[in-house]
A and B are shown apart, each in its own frame.
Chain A
Amino acid sequence: MTGIINTKRRHFLRQMAGVLSAGGAYATLGQLGMVNQAMAQGGGAGYRALVCIYLTGGNDSFNLLVPRDTTRYNQYSDIRENLAIPREDLLAVSPLSGGNYGFHPSCPGLRSLFNAGDLAVVTNVGPLVAPMTKLTFENGSVPRPPQLFSHNSQTELWQSGSAIAGMAQGWGGLVADQLVTFNANPDLPFSVSVGGNNRFAVGEVTRPYQIGLDGLIEIEGFDTQLASAARQAGFDEIFAAAYDHPFQREYRDTMTRSIELEALFSSAMAANPVTTSFPDTNLGGQLETVARLIAARGDTGQSRQIFFVSQGGYDTHNAQNTDQPELLTELNDAITAFQSALGDELNVADDVTTFTMSEFGRTLNSNGDGSDHGWGGQQMVIGGGVLGQTLYGTYPEIALDGADSIGRGRMIPSTALDQYCATLAKWLGVGDSELNAIFPNLNEFAAADLGFVL
């Protein structure tokens, strides 16, 4: 802490404190809403949001959506051994794109969304440097993505939106950088993470607002009767000061954002209650918070937003047959409630697109009690704008060492995550030329837009 006082910051803190104590936040938020409506007449019309559900650990998506035709089901059943779901338990669907598949028995809500045309599955998607076949994988003529099968390395690739190692930003954050000026108050966070720290929402200009499962937390202790004015003045002084260490500055700025944003968003969320019942689970709570933030969009002046939530536990090396059904039940129930809130209560079903990411699919082959780290896998896209009831891409051949697999049923992706992510980014409003800047490898692949959402 040095003696140079950052007067602008100090002024803002004081102003916020004044607004709150005078009960005037409403007026401020109302003004933001009006600006927002004015903006909506121009370029960034209407409202759109992306919601990323990150499935931490690598979801075994070969049990999320399973081929039900006799030939492929038998291949599946033989190979997956004790991990195979009985055919009669699968929740059958007949995609418009053809074939006969079944959802995991824990996912009746997802099946309903699929059949209603509000859910699509993108098959065998994963990190690729360029299109790859088993031949080019083996002869090395196409570079492999770095550190395949490693959790944190593959998470970074998924969240950065390409197979290039060491990207400092996430694709959600870079999208936010492009679109932040759509919002009436570009200083407010474009992205909000309720699901913990992530690379996905970190941009060059923007960074996510991270709030916990318990919602927005106000700093306590300064409204206590004793000496609170003196302590508040001391606090303001400390957090308005300049510091010589980058870690001290980072901490100071995080605290300042925490206080300013809590004041703003708490008021907006309190003014826009959500009554839809959400399951009392970790993911249910996260998506409920997202629904409440979406409900408050008019008051915070946001016409484009990105949200990040996460669900852990998918690294099912063991006890997969007990653990995965529980995980998918939580996922199914949370998404079902979320879609209900967006559609029935908030009337933004067409304006919000929710999608999954997970660092890898898993081995088809069983280790006796679970599955190990794989590569390509299935992801889901959900929303009123989704052209659902359809599979996008190619479901891989069910074989341990077939044309699509590099052994143990680790699948070479047939769709690049760059394409998957770019399709979503484009829907939110990113232009074609900016897409190539955000996804530098996109030109390596045939389609920049997979067409699963309008």
Chain B
Amino acid sequence: MNVWRAVLLAGGLACLAVGTVVQAQGARFADGFEPVGQRSLTQFEAARILTQATYGPTPAEIAALQQSDLETWFNNQLSSPISLQRPFLENLAATQGVTNGDRRSRWGSIAIYGEDQLRQRVAWALSQILVISQQGMGNDIFGLAEYYDLLARNAFGNYRQLLEEVSLSPQMGRYLSHLRNRKANPNRGTLPDENYAREIMQLFSIGLVKLNLDHTPMLDNQGQPLPTYDQAVIGEMAKIFTGWTYANSETFFRAEVNYLPMVCFEEEHEPGEKVLLDGAVVPAGQSCEEDLTDALDIIFNHPNVGPFISRQLILKLVSSNPPPEYVARVAQVFNNNGSGVRGDLEAVVRAILFDPVARGMAQPAPFGRPREPLLKLIAMYRAFNAVPAPDGRSVNIPTGPYAQSPLFAPTVFNFYSPGYQAPGEIQQAGLVSPEFQIIDEGTIATAANHLFNQGWNGNTGQTNPPANRPAINVEDLIPLLDDPAVLVDELDLRMLHGSMSSALRQALIATVEAYPSSGNDDRKVYGLIHLLLVSPEFAVQR
């Protein structure tokens, strides 16, 4: 019996307890005797899986998943061909100028229409952990696209490999300035740049304090958290990331900008021994590549990586405040996928989504996460069968209204911090609410207005829908205006996987009943969808 199967068995018992409660509320949840991956699903369970593991349910995918099971769906996703950005943009560039708007549009097309939804959703999460950004990167459009493709390629791969490819990406090298980072020059008194050395540890792997398997901090005997490293380790780690520059460089400083893995000029690489985390030594006399291999092995094998990365992925897929036991179960899989392999992201993603905490339909508050503002837009397009723009590629993915956009974070600290606590009740309860860091009095309005304009002025019922975006198609819902309860229940399934409160249901039914009788049925339906899109219940992914 491998590790995660044992976890699932343990989890099955927990499901049983949860299941009895839910059945009393209306039998939307099958009982928990079968392994979670193989049992049949209700349409609500199917919609919920698609909410967590894709860019949002579509009617067709809800139906298909309900005919299947989680295990089959997951395995199909693993083998689904990867959707890439860079090759697409390079093809586009053959006939026209290409902008970062085209890059973001390509991201949007993949998010809405890509078959490899799970891979892309994990890549989206990774793009918010291993951050680079268009801001500060100028117009390196193909490089940015290739970086995103790198994340997508490795989404089910091994975290060690991902860390290496990220470290050697010249785009990361530019963003965190280890590209063309030189060894110390005693004559000039310069020392290596510490930027990447610090952030690869603080943000990409181990964090600032030593962690238990469940991500709780280890404390010293005064109750203070134990730091993972000090400034001396940063200085030593900085030496590792010296000598690297663009591939195909004529000299260290003369090169064409490209997206190939960086290469190292030994004469610019810091020689000598480097003493890294917890005294681990990278010996003198090695090549750049050998130094990098050793350093990445040391980082990757630090016991923090499992809990640190596992928790971040849980936060970005399932819930902001996961029970420590859930984090520990996933981190255990990170540490060993059951076959002795550390860092297997496929197994980690599986452990996150198959866990009874993720699959339980009646998780008590505060289970769930604030829905990412930009993903509301994508979810809208998917739930309502958006028809591609006439040119088949234009998706308006803006940088402003949602305060997030693909590879557009303001700093390497992402759009929001995993530790952010909204002031007031959430903070007082000791909860974190990361995505609320970008949802304030200003952005809540800009997001609501962008959603409104994309749907109200972008649906197939219009005479001339705008050409620069997909148009949602609500024609199948228009007949239901005559039966508001059925209409609202359909929106509940597609947008809230059947979790809508009876009060919200009544409010939406009353809205339809109060509509004037005259025409514009497409907008009447969209008007209702928009109320739900901006509602407090849709604002939380549960």
Binding site for B on A (CB under 8 A): 1-3, 56-57, 78-79, 81-82, 147-153, 168-169, 173, 196-197, 202-203, 207, 209-212, 214, 216-221, 224, 226-227, 229-231, 233-235, 237-239, 241, 243-252, 254-255, 257-258, 261-262, 312-313, 315, 317-318, 365-370, 372-373, 400, 408
Question: Of B185, B438, B534, which contacts A197 at CB under 8 A?
Answer: B438
Cα distance A251–B417 in the bound complex, in angstroms: 18
- Complex interface: chain B residues within 8 A of A318 (CB): 177, 193, 195
Please tell me if the beta carbons of B507 and A372 are within 8 angstroms of each other in the complex. Answer: no
Q: Which residues of B contact A258 (CB under 8 A)?
A: 441-442, 444-445
Segment of B3-11, B344-352, B462-470, B497-505 engaged in the interface with chain A = B497-505
Contacts of A243 in B (CB 8 A): 536-537
B370 on the A face (CB < 8 A): yes
* Residues in B whose Cβ lies below 8 Å from that of A149: 198, 231, 234
Query: Residue B368 at the A interface, CB < 8 A?
Result: yes
Closest 10 CB pairs of A and B: A234-B511, A212-B442, A210-B440, A230-B514, A217-B445, A251-B539, A248-B536, A318-B177, A367-B193, A258-B441
Q: How long is the Cα–Cα vector from A226 to B520 in the complex, in angstroms?
A: 8
Distance A257 CA – B441 CA, assembled complex (angstroms):
6
Are A1 and B537 within 8 A (Cβ)?
yes
* A interface footprint on B453-473 (CB within 8 Å = 1, 0 otherwise): 100100000000000000000
Q: Residues of A contacting B507 with CB < 8 Å? A: 1, 234, 237-238, 241
- Tell me which residues across on chain A come within 8 A of B536, comparing CB atoms: 1, 238-239, 241, 243, 248-249, 251-252, 255
For chain B, the count of residues having a C-beta within 8 Å of the partner chain is 87
- Residue pair B194, A367 in contact (C-beta under 8 Å): yes
Interfacial chain B residues near A254, Cβ < 8 Å: 436, 439-441, 444
Q: What total count of A-B pairs have CB within 8 Å? A: 234
Closest to B440 in A: A210
Q: Nearest-CB distance from A222 to chain B (Å)?
A: 9
Closest CB-CB distance, B173 to chain A, in whole Å?
10
Cβ-based interface call for B157 (8 A): no
In the bound complex, what is the Cα–Cα distance between A237 and B421 (angstroms)? 28
> How far is A233 from B253 in the complex, measured between Cα atoms in Å?
64
Instruction: Kindly provide the distance from the CB of B261 to the nearest chain A CB, expressed in whole angstroms.
Output: 20
Q: How far is the CA of A248 from the CA of B536 in the complex (A)?
A: 5
Q: How far is the CA of A152 from the CA of B421 in the complex (A)?
A: 14
Contacts of A233 in B (CB 8 A): 510-511, 514
Residue of A nearest to B448 (CB): A219
A247 contacts B436, C-beta separation under 8 Å: yes
Q: Would you call B121 an interface residue if the criterion is a C-beta within 8 Å of the partner chain's C-beta atoms?
A: no
> Nearest chain-B residue to A202 (Cβ)?
B423
Kindly state the separation between the CA atoms of A210 and B424 in the bound complex, as whole angstroms.
15
B193 x A211 contact (CB < 8 A): no
Chain A nearest Cβ from B321, distance in angstroms = 10
Chain B residues near A238 (CB, 8 Å)? 504, 507, 531, 535-536
Residues in B neighbouring A82, C-beta threshold 8 A: 188
Interface assignment of B508: CB less than 8 Å from any CB of chain A: yes
For B443, list chain A residues within 8 Å (CB).
212
Chain A's closest residue to B410 (CB) is A312
Which residues of chain A have C-beta atoms less than 8 A from B537's C-beta?
1, 243, 248
- List the one stretch of B66-74, B103-111, B425-433 in contact with chain A: B425-433
Q: How close is B22's CB to chain A, nearest CB, in angstroms?
A: 15
Do B410 and A250 touch across chains, with their CB atoms under 8 A apart? Answer: no
Contacts of A366 in B (CB 8 A): 188-190
Q: How far is the CB of A330 from chain B (nearest CB, A)?
A: 15
Q: Are B208 and A150 in contact (CB under 8 A)?
A: yes
Task: Render B156-193 as a binary contact track against A, CB cut-off 8 A, 1 for contact.
Answer: 00000000000000000000110011100100111111
B301 at the interface (CB under 8 A from A): no
Across-interface contacts of A218 in B (CB, < 8 A): 445
A11 to B177, CA, bound (A): 55
Interface residue from B177, B501, B508, B540 paired with A247 (Cβ < 8 Å): B540
Instruction: Select the stretch in B34-42, B302-310, B328-336, B522-530 that faces chain A.
Output: B522-530
> Given the known A-B contacts A147-B227, A367-B190, are A221 and B452 also in contact in the complex, defined by CB atoms under 8 Å?
yes
Q: How close is B501's CB to chain A, nearest CB, in angstroms?
A: 4
- B177 neighbours in A (Cβ, 8 Å): 317-318, 369-370
| B371 → chain A closest CB, angstroms | 9
Docked CA distance A57–B177 (Å):
14
Set of chain A residues within 8 Å of B195, measured between Cβ atoms: 315, 317-318, 372
B446 at the interface (CB under 8 A from A): yes
Smallest CB gap from B428: residue in A: A168
Extra inter-chain contacts (14) besides given A369-B180, A370-B177, CB under 8 Å = A78-B189, A147-B227, A173-B423, A212-B443, A220-B448, A221-B456, A226-B524, A234-B514, A247-B366, A247-B370, A248-B540, A251-B436, A251-B439, A318-B193
Q: Are B542 and A245 in contact (CB under 8 A)?
A: yes
Give the shortest distance, in Å, between A153 (CB) and chain B (any CB).
Answer: 7
Find the A residue at minimum CB distance from B425.
A246
Complex: A372 Cα to B235 Cα, angstroms: 10
Cα separation A173 to B506 with both chains bound (whole Å): 40
25 contacting pairs across A/B (C-beta < 8 A): A1-B503, A82-B188, A147-B227, A197-B437, A197-B440, A209-B441, A210-B440, A216-B442, A217-B449, A220-B448, A227-B515, A230-B514, A241-B507, A246-B366, A248-B536, A252-B536, A254-B440, A258-B444, A312-B410, A315-B195, A367-B181, A367-B191, A368-B190, A368-B193, A370-B177
